[in-house]
Structure 1
Amino acid sequence: MIRHLTLPVLSAFGLIMLLILLFFVFQGSGTSPQAENTLTVSRHGAWEIYFSNPGGPESKTLRGGPDSYLVEAMDSAQFSIDMAMYHLDLWSVREVLIRAHRRGIVVQVVTDDAYKEELEIRSLQEAGINVMDDARPGIMHHKFIVIDRKEVWTGSMNMTVNGAYRNDDHLIRVLSDKVAESYTHEFDEMFLEDRFGALSLADTPYPIVDLEGMEVEIYFSPDDGVLNRIIENLRTAERSVEILAYAFTTDTIGETLLDLHQSGVEVRGVVEASQAQAAGSETPRLRLAGVDIRLDGNPENMHHKVIIIDGVTVILGSYNFTRSAEEKNDENVLIFHDPALAAQFLIEFDRIYGSATP
């Protein structure tokens, strides 16, 4: 005898209860906003790299950008947060700093005097957080945070809505007591000693640090001769150089790239379109000489300051390739000799290069 399986007919009440049950099941299994994030995140040993995602879903909600990971780290701070930030207008960062201060964490901030009246800065001061500005013609252009003197967050990204959600920018987290000590020393020089620009001293505690077998160089401008180290690294190139430049007016970098191009090294670059014709820009000269330098396609800013050499070395930080960055501004640069990090920046380069104008 063949048996037929029949399903019971649901009453209206039963159907409603089933729908409610399904709703909670799917709510419980859903992903968090951070898990849905499409911005690029990569972790490798002692570093984590975050790239902004202009035009992505985060840029519409202004949530879930690189700042969300920094906020999580600052919420876990045990005793101190030191922040040197050129421009701050992200409420997420403002709020986490105030939360940290209220739970007893020592929070100290240095900013540029051009932005000392920003709502976020005034809110920090009103909450009782000590904020200092450089009060000088030059620029305090740093974008770094030291947490508990054991980790550093730095890169090209200002803690602004544009930086986290509209510009092409990067934020790197470095987990190292020695790197943190070097950045803390730079912070204290500004915050405690009121030394900015030409008054800065070339006394970085650990200019070269071993990170799990990978070497990173740490430099601060204008005291450490950053340009010389950039040129020295560029001259080691044998196969390829990629450059992402917001501002690019340094003659010696332009000349070195031209020499490399003429010697057979593949040189590619993307510059911020709005800066390409600025006074002293190296872009017209290089393009005229046949170097593959393109103009970015982001309607906002291509704000990176990055050089990748032979797929191994990455130069990154707050330092634009300009005379002001070398001689006047307070800047920081990290030079990683690490193929894994270089690979992540090559992916970012290719993304930007693909939408740039030849």
Structure 2
Amino acid sequence: MTKHKIIIICVAILSFLLFSVYNYQKSKSYDILAIKSPFKIIVDLNNNGIEDDDEVITILNGYNYIKRSDLQDPKNFSKYSSYNLSKKEIIALSYLTEKFVSDYLKDKTVTLKDNNIYLGTTNFNEKFLNSGFVFKDNKPTNKKALKKELKYINKTNFVIYNAKSNKYHTIDCKYGLLAHNYVFISKSQLPKGVKPCKYCHTDKNNYHKHNKHYSHKKYNFHGPNLNVKPVPIMISNGSIKVLITDYTTKLKPDRCCNTEVCKELVKQINNSQKSIDIAIYGYRKVPPVEKALKNAIARGVKIRLVYDINSCNTNIYPDTMYLVSIIKNAVNDKATFSTGQPSAYTNSIMHDKFYIFDDKTVMTGSANLSFTDMSGFNCNNVVVINSAQVAQVYKQEFEQMYNTRFHYLKSKIHEKENIQIGNTNVSVYFSPKDLTIERIIIPLINSARKQICIPAFLITDYKLAQALINAKQRGVDIKIILDAANAKSPYSKHRLLRQHGILVKTETFAGKLHSKTMIIDNTYSVIGSMNFSKSGEHKNDENVLVIKNSKITVFNKIFFEYLWKKIDNYWLTHDASAEGLDSLGSCSDGIDNDYDGKIDMEDEGCQIHHRKK
């Protein structure tokens, strides 16, 4: 081979390598960790799930937008005097700009090229420039889009609603501008019982006149009544702790881990010395939990994981495989394919949500390891049990799955009923082997004498529905609250229950009523991962606790009644829309609440007030 040919081959190889590296960098994707401002985005460039100082991507250099932080000081309005906008328009645009960026980028996976952010093939930078929210030299980069936004602003009576304080503010109120737990919504969507801010509603005559013009009746709005006294969301007797996330006060999800549920999980991880076994449906990034797990691995704690995988070899949550890469000792239920019956696999899911710490503490319930559940955006019921005996029961179940025996391949576990822990009796059941609805829950319903309360994600099991109807007919008082999205399902049994006189409300909040709980006669609490469905009982990997303790059950009942009072009685005979004016905050939370692929104002339900005006 001549020297000339060798040079040509080397150049060709080098060109190929450079081209491959270029394409690899071009196609590499990253998660959005946070949005510091519309122009400053935190991107997980090193894929460690943590916001690092060198991961700030600044976009649209040389352009401007109306900054909400500027408007907290009235003197700063002069910055925008040359924009030819009214004060109301300036403030509304500042909120809508943040919302636009959040709707497009929050929790998304993106690619980067030349400081441009891409969602698939869509160039976000170009999208933003054409949104009407971006300015250059005091002029909008898209006049037509700005005109459309201003028309929307001037037709809508926007207010700032703080769910935590249950107060609303005019959009130029200094206290409203300082609020963090806020929702920027039309006044017509304010819930019942909401209080006006005293600072910005000093003119009572104008206030009442304004309220009359924008009445709930005009929009047939039957929003929640938030003028209900808060109730406890945690109870503990030393050995057993029950926690509930109150989603009525959390109208936007976050990743901050401020709920008692998330704090408890992090605490248990941090306190573990030897082992942590985790069985979860999937994972959606919660950085404080992730950090605790990494620290546990670093100090020598053995962590194992079982999780769900579907027939496309993916998980419902996009960050699951990242968690697998951290834990490494991980097994999924794809192993069921080895039986030669893939159809049985594809119709079943590993739906557990439990943790075993040092073989002596179990944490379980309805909460997924996702930021929507851990932030309290969704309503969940979680139990922590300090009992080596209960931990051993859960470990037997975990070991079966870790050794690739999922779903119908598992063996039934014995000696797990009537475990006495102090003054509490606890029984543990696993799907699909225990047939929990037929053999456990229906007999409990049949034994009920006074009352049954059910806050649930869904009820589609006919036999369970029939047992409730029978209980109603013998005089048992029954109340049920169902998640709004699932009430739209043709398989939901709530219509049948209503026909037989059972009181069923659909909830009206942005997040999901994700609990799978049943409260019977102030005596029994049923809590777990299993939805009240045929697949929950017969196909999926699930776990259910039946807790016999009057104090715990009354605690659960008090929260149920609190939630019941917050939901308007109109929803006893109607089904609320999960995304739209029916559900408070659902048009401004950045979440696809009804699973139709449309978020917030893209969803037709959130556009109703435009058509009515």
TM-score over 0.5 for the alignment? Answer: yes
Decide whether aligned partners of structure 1 residues 100 and 59 sit closer, same or farther in structure 2, where only a CA change above 3 A counts. Answer: farther
Match of 1:23 in 2: none
Asked if structure 2 preserves the Cα contact closer than 8 Å seen for 1:39 and 1:50, the reply is no
The one-letter code sitting in structure 1 at the alignment partner of 2:552 is L
Q: Provide the secondary structure at the position in 1 that maps to 2:292.
A: helix
Say whether 1:78 aligns with 2:273. yes
Residues of 1 paired with 2:416 and 2:386: CA distance? 14
Match of 2:221 in 1: none
Residues of 2 paired with 1:249 and 1:57: CA distance? 28
Match of 1:207 in 2: 417
Which residue, 234, 243, 263 being the options, matches 1:41? 234
Residues of 1 paired with 2:510 and 2:253: CA distance? 15
Say whether 1:96 aligns with 2:298. no
Residues of 1 paired with 2:479 and 2:404: CA distance? 40
Q: Provide the secondary structure at the position in 1 that maps to 2:447.
A: coil
Q: Per-residue deviation at 1:59?
A: 5.5
Equivalent residues in 2 for 1:162-201, closer than 5 Å: 162-164=372-374, 165-191=376-402, 193-201=403-411
Q: C-alpha offsets along residues 279-331 of structure 1, whole Å, 9 cap, x if unaligned? A: 32110011122111111122221011111110110111001000001111000
Q: Per-residue deviation at 1:54?
A: 2.1
Which residue, 231, 242, 248 being the options, matches 2:453? 242
Q: Provide the secondary structure at the position in 2 that maps to 1:140.
A: coil
Match of 1:310 in 2: 521
Match of 1:35 in 2: none
Residues of 2 paired with 1:106 and 1:293: CA distance? 45
The one-letter code sitting in structure 2 at the alignment partner of 1:302 is L
Q: Per-residue deviation at 1:48?
A: 0.8
Which residue, 255, 271, 282 being the options, matches 2:482? 271
Match of 1:7 in 2: none
Say whether 1:339 aligns with 2:550. yes
Residues of 2 paired with 1:240 and 1:288: CA distance? 19
Asked if structure 2 preserves the Cα contact closer than 8 Å seen for 1:48 and 1:172, the reply is yes
Q: Per-residue deviation at 1:80?
A: 0.3
Residues of 1 paired with 2:412 and 2:279: CA distance? 18
Match of 1:298 in 2: 509
The one-letter code sitting in structure 2 at the alignment partner of 1:72 is K
Q: Per-residue deviation at 1:121?
A: 3.3
Asked if structure 2 preserves the Cα contact closer than 8 Å seen for 1:110 and 1:132, the reply is yes
Match of 1:153 in 2: 363
Decide whether aligned partners of structure 1 residues 247 and 128 sit closer, same or farther in structure 2, where only a CA change above 3 A counts. Answer: closer
Q: C-alpha offsets along residues 110-163 of structure 1, whole Å, 9 cap, x if unaligned? A: 111145485643333433531211114210000000000001000010011111
Asked if structure 2 preserves the Cα contact closer than 8 Å seen for 1:149 and 1:180, the reply is yes
Q: C-alpha offsets along residues 15-74 of structure 1, whole Å, 9 cap, x if unaligned? A: xxxxxxxxxxxxxxxxxxxxxxx9822211311111113253796663311111110111
Which residue, 304, 308, 312 being the options, matches 1:108? 304
Which residue, 533, 538, 544 being the options, matches 1:322? 533
Instruction: Extract unaligned runs of 5+ from structure 1.
Output: 1-37
Q: Provide the secondary structure at the position in 1 that maps to 2:472.
A: helix
Higher relative contact order (CA 8 A, sep 6+): 1
The one-letter code sitting in structure 1 at the alignment partner of 2:279 is A
Residues of 1 paired with 2:232 and 2:501: CA distance? 33
Residues of 1 paired with 2:555 and 2:448: CA distance? 19
Residues of 2 paired with 1:276 and 1:58: CA distance? 20
Instruction: Extract unaligned runs of 5+ from structure 2.
Output: 1-230, 335-344, 573-613
Residues of 2 paired with 1:176 and 1:220: CA distance? 18
Decide whether aligned partners of structure 1 residues 148 and 284 sit closer, same or farther in structure 2, where only a CA change above 3 A counts. Answer: same
Q: Provide the secondary structure at the position in 1 that maps to 2:411.
A: coil
Match of 2:282 in 1: 87
Decide whether aligned partners of structure 1 residues 349 and 55 sit closer, same or farther in structure 2, where only a CA change above 3 A counts. Answer: closer
State the Cα RMSD in Å: 1.9
Match of 1:126 in 2: 325
Residues of 1 paired with 2:370 and 2:457: CA distance? 16
Q: Per-residue deviation at 1:224?
A: 1.1
Q: Provide the secondary structure at the position in 2 that maps to 1:122.
A: helix
Q: Per-residue deviation at 1:180?
A: 0.3
Q: Provide the secondary structure at the position in 2 that maps to 1:78.
A: coil
Residues of 1 paired with 2:535 and 2:513: CA distance? 19
Residues of 1 paired with 2:489 and 2:407: CA distance? 24
Residues of 2 paired with 1:337 and 1:152: CA distance? 17
Asked if structure 2 preserves the Cα contact closer than 8 Å seen for 1:325 and 1:331, the reply is yes
> What count of residue pairs does the alignment treat as equivalent?
320
Residues of 2 paired with 1:242 and 1:57: CA distance? 23
The one-letter code sitting in structure 1 at the alignment partner of 2:428 is I
Decide whether aligned partners of structure 1 residues 87 and 125 sit closer, same or farther in structure 2, where only a CA change above 3 A counts. Answer: closer
Asked if structure 2 preserves the Cα contact closer than 8 Å seen for 1:241 and 1:310, the reply is yes
Asked if structure 1 preserves the Cα contact closer than 8 Å seen for 2:250 and 2:377, the reply is no
Q: Provide the secondary structure at the position in 1 that maps to 2:481.
A: strand
Asked if structure 2 preserves the Cα contact closer than 8 Å seen for 1:157 and 1:171, the reply is yes
Residues of 1 paired with 2:418 and 2:307: CA distance? 26
Residues of 2 paired with 1:97 and 1:206: CA distance? 29
Equivalent residues in 2 for 1:221-232, closer than 5 Å: 221-227=431-437, 228-232=439-443
Residues of 1 paired with 2:240 and 2:267: CA distance? 16
Bigger Rg, structure 1 or 2: 2
